[in-house]
Structures are given as structure tokens and as C-alpha cells.
Amino acid sequence: MLQCGILPGGAVTVTTHPAAPPKKPRDLRLDFFRGLAMAIILIAHTPTNGWALWIPARFGFSDATEIFVFCSGFASSLAFGATFATHGWWIGAARIAHRVWQVYWAHIGVFIVTAALLMAIDLNGWGLEGRRYVAEPYVVPIFEQTGPYLIGLLTLRYTPGLFDILPMYLVILAMTPLVMALHRAGGGAAVAAFVGVIWLGANLAGYAFVNGVDGWTPGEASALHDAAMWLGAQAQFLNFPASPSGTGTWFFNPFGWQLVFFTGFAFGMGWLRPPPVSRGLVIAAALALLISVPFAWFRIHQGFWIPADWAVTQGIAAVREALAPLWWKQWQGAFRYAHFMALAYLAWVAVGPRGVVLTQDLPVRLRPARRRARMAAAAALALVVTAPYGLAMEIKAASPALDAWLMQTVPILSPALIGWLSLAHFAALVTLLWNAAPPAALRWLTGPLWRASTPVVRKVGSQSLAVFMTSIPLSQVNGLILDLIGRDIFRFAAVNVFGVAVLVATAYLVGWMKAQPWRKPAAAHPARRSVAPTPAE
């Protein structure tokens, strides 16, 4: 950039300033998956939500929180990395501090609004009779012991459930300047060592906390257990208290979860290169996800869909319990991290280079008409046969007598195994709809509709903080609505679709506000004539 000036005497000076580096374009994949995570988080936070039984978290160790944290790390590299590179460490750290300040007040505001909403429901009798909404989530102390708990809220020493993600995020974000300094001093190896040691320390602190470090006596168990307990006892400072009473720790330990954040950050900064797309890696990642299902899905390891007295059920439950420190959520266990990385790899492969699949028709090939007709007929038969199990809640609500008669008269499997039939019913429904639909409808579904919907999802992801803030009180409103109208397959659909629509509207509204349309020149209108104000006489 050239800047010209005139000195006294008429001399002309020309000064050259380096042009600002071009701003990195938004990554389509980043916003898309953050948008999906926002919808899943809303569904998961809605009390007694039937849809929450079928979110990805039910079938694996990781969940939408990993998506949110990983994508936040990637987004932070795009938002702040250039500042560190072009303006130096101090300005980069100042920008991080500004963002931490914003997230802090977002957390305080969300808590106050949601707690006030829950108290308003109780005081005005809007909810179910006899139910105390301030106890779900448990925010009773802020009203009954306001002094210490208000101070705890402001100092982040009071982080009840539902309000624990943003505190974790802002602590990790505050670690970013240190990570940038480490990379400048020692490169990627220094960052990897720091992140790994902090993560391991957090997990050891968690292990000692869970196993009662205060009452621990060396020599009563294995040497490995004693070593882990001793090391964890030295690292208890990594466990932040979750309430002024001193009981419990933050549910999302930032020193464990920073592993996910800085993995995304490292990919965004280019410190880590993306893995190659290979058939072997795809198969390995898919197998990792499949193997985790029995150990993560409560319907299996708790004996709901497989008899609890079967040896396989008891074996799965025993292995799961023995390996608990590897899959726990609070300190980001190793299995959770590995599960998420496998899932992220498959998603990365699925959307194509730079997310090209998100901008074009889905590559779907339709089967011949005769084959589709045969599959539709078979699916229709399976749908009818499994209806008593797939629609058990609806049939029982409409006619308990009919439900009892069907279960006694049309037994297909042992009652302990009928859950699989409800899953088969859903699979038959999807198969029937896909194969019975006209080809033109399927082409519209995988073409224009897909291309129109992905920008909407990306818009939600691009405004993730505002959308997340909205989703917390909205989840409680949705739970209240379900309490009042009842819970069945149709009401679940209506309330969840309503909630997602509110998130979409929030994203577009916030995007419009951030664009500051009032600063743009007013468009000329032939029917209007601007009249300058004149002073009153």
C-alpha cells in the first residue's frame, strides 16, 4: 500500500506499508458441522426428549460436545492465528482476552436468563403441578443462598449442569497465547508435549478424585493404582470446584478437553497435516465406531435390548466398567478422543475436498425400477409386522387393551428382545419411503433441497455462540411445552422442529445485526424525497 505526503517546500514523500494479509475464507465444513452440533445440543438438553435417545452420542463414546470444541479450536485458528502472525504475540493475546471477556459475559447472561425463566415458571404455575422447575437443572442455591452462590457464579466457582460448557471453553481459549508462544519457541513438538502432559495430568487428577483421594491408603491395591493415585493427588489443582460448598468439580474439565480444542487448532494452523484418504483408514475408522456401540449404547450394556442375565451382556458391562477412565466425559478419556477422531475422519472424507459435497448434488445412484418396487414391497410387509413394536408408545397411549392384546397375540421375539423390532420398524419405514418415492422426488431431495439446506446449516454454525446461548433457555421452554402437550412421536417432532427453527432464525437475525445494515448507504427510492430538517420557528 502506498501513502503519499507533501513536505514543507513542496517535496513529495511516498511511504510503502505492507498490505494486510487476505482474510482466510470461512471453511464450509467447519460451519456445517458446528451447525449440526448446535441442533444436537438443543435436542440433548431438552428434558425427557424422545429424540435424544437417537442422537449420535447414544451409539458412541463421543458426542456433539466434541464437535463443538474441535470446531471451536479450528475456528479460533482462523480467527486469531493471523493476528498473532501479523501483529505479534501481545496483540494476539489481547484479542484472545477480548474474546474470553465476551464468552464470560455470555455465560453469566445465559445463566441469569435461564434461572429467571425457571423461577418464573414455578412462581406463575405455568408448568406441571407439583414439579419444581428450578430443580431441573438444579439452580435452587442461587435463590436460597444468593450471596455465596452469586459470588461463585461470577468467579466461576459455581457451574451447575447445563451451564458448564462456556466456562470450559473460555479457560481453554485463555490457554491459546501460551500455546502460540510454545510453538514459536519449540515448534509442534513443544505444543504436543504441553497439550499431552496437561491432558494426562487432568485425567490422573480425575482418577484420584473419583477413587477418593482423601481416603486413599497406599498398598491396598496394585502398584499401578497407587502410582496413579499419587500422581493424581499432586494434580488436584487441575480440578476446579463446581460449587461454593466444595463438592464436585467442573463437569467439563478444561485441562482434559483442551486436547480436542488444540487438535482442531493445530489442523487450522497447519501444524498438523490432514490424513490421507485411503480405503484402509476408512475401514479402520468405521470398525472403531462399530466396536464402540455395545459399550456405549445403554440399551445393550444395561440389558434393555439383550437380557441382562446373558453372559455377553454381563461381559460388555464388566469391560465398560473396568475401562471407565478411558471413556469418561468429564476429563475427556482416551477412548472418547479416539472415537471422535475416527468419526471426524469419516465425516471429513464424506464431504469431500474443501467440503465440495456441501455445494453440489449428493452423489446418489438410484436402483432399477423393478428392484426398487420389490424392496418397497418387502419393506411394507416388515413395516406392518413390526408395527406393534415400533409404535408401542402410541398404541399404548391410544388403547392399553389393544397394546396388551398385540403383545400377547403377535409375539415374534422374547419380550427382552423386542427393542430390536422397533429398530427394524424404523429401518423398514425409511426403506419404504426411499424406494416408493418417485425418482423425480428423490432427485429433488438429493439435489435442490440438499443444496438449499446446507447454507442454512452453515449459517447456524457461523453464529455458534449466539445460537448456543439461545439454545439453553430454549431447551427448557421446549421441555415445558412437552410437559403441557404430552410426549409422543408427533409431538416430539413438532417441538424439536420448532426448536431448530428458532435456532435458524437466531442465526440469521444475529448475522443481519452483525452486518450493521444501518451503516450502508440508503438505497435511492423514486417515490421518496429526502427533506432536510429545518429548525422550528
26-81 pLDDT, tens digit per residue, is 788 999 999 999 999 999 999 999 999 999 999 999 999 999 999 999 999 999 99
Phi, psi of 2 (to 5 degrees): -100, 140
**What does the pLDDT read at residue 217?**
81
pTM for the model stands at 0.89
What mean pLDDT value characterizes the chain? 90
Q: Which residues of 28-37 are buried (b: 16+ CB within 10 A; e: fewer)?
A: bbbbbbbbbb
Mean pLDDT across 505-524 = 89
- Count the alpha carbons within 13 Å of 110 in the hemisphere toward its beta carbon: 27
Confidence of residue 280 (pLDDT cuts 50, 70, 90): very high
**What does the pLDDT read at residue 521?**
83
Measured in whole angstroms, the distance separating CA 44 from the mean position of its chain's CA atoms is 9
**What does the pLDDT read at residue 411?**
61
Q: In terms of Cα–Cα distance, which of 297, 319, 299 is closest to 307?
A: 299
CB atoms within 10 A of CB 150: 15
8-state DSSP, 445 = I
Q: Please say if the pLDDT value at position 461 is more than 60.
A: yes
- Gap between the Cα atoms of 422 and 431, Å rounded: 14
Q: In terms of Cα–Cα distance, which of 95, 92, 78, 98 is closest to 264?
A: 78
- Gap between the Cα atoms of 241 and 23, Å rounded: 40
- Gap between the Cα atoms of 155 and 373, Å rounded: 63
Grid coordinates given for 254: 478444561
**What does the pLDDT read at residue 131?**
92
Q: Please say if the pLDDT value at position 481 is more than 70.
A: yes
8-state DSSP, 249 = B
Q: Which of 25-29, 126-130, 368-372, 531-535 has the lowest mean pLDDT?
A: 531-535
**DSSP per-residue letters across 88-156:** -HHHHHHHHHHHHHHHHHHHHHHHHHHHHHHHHHHHHT-S-TT--TTBTTB-HHHHHSHHHHHHHHHTT
Q: What is the largest CA-CA distance in the chain?
A: 106
**What does the pLDDT read at residue 526?**
59
Mean pLDDT across 414-442 = 85
The owner of cell 449420535 is 56
**What does the pLDDT read at residue 425?**
84
- Gap between the Cα atoms of 67 and 34, Å rounded: 7
Contact present, 52 and 285 (Cβ < 8 Å): no
Mean pLDDT across 522-527 = 64
Q: Please say if the pLDDT value at position 530 is more than 70.
A: no
Q: In terms of Cα–Cα distance, which of 503, 471, 498, 468 is closest to 482?
A: 498
| Burial class (CB within 10 angstroms; exposed 0-12, middle 13-18, buried 19+) of 278 | exposed
> Residue 2: which H helix or E strand, with range?
strand 2-6
> Residue 14: which H helix or E strand, with range?
strand 12-16
Q: Please say if the pLDDT value at position 392 is more than 70.
A: no
The owner of cell 470446531 is 71
Measured in whole angstroms, the distance separating CA 466 from the mean position of its chain's CA atoms is 14
- Gap between the Cα atoms of 230 and 461, Å rounded: 42
316-358 pLDDT, tens digit per residue, is 999 999 999 999 999 999 999 999 999 999 999 999 998 999 9
- Gap between the Cα atoms of 254 and 240, Å rounded: 9
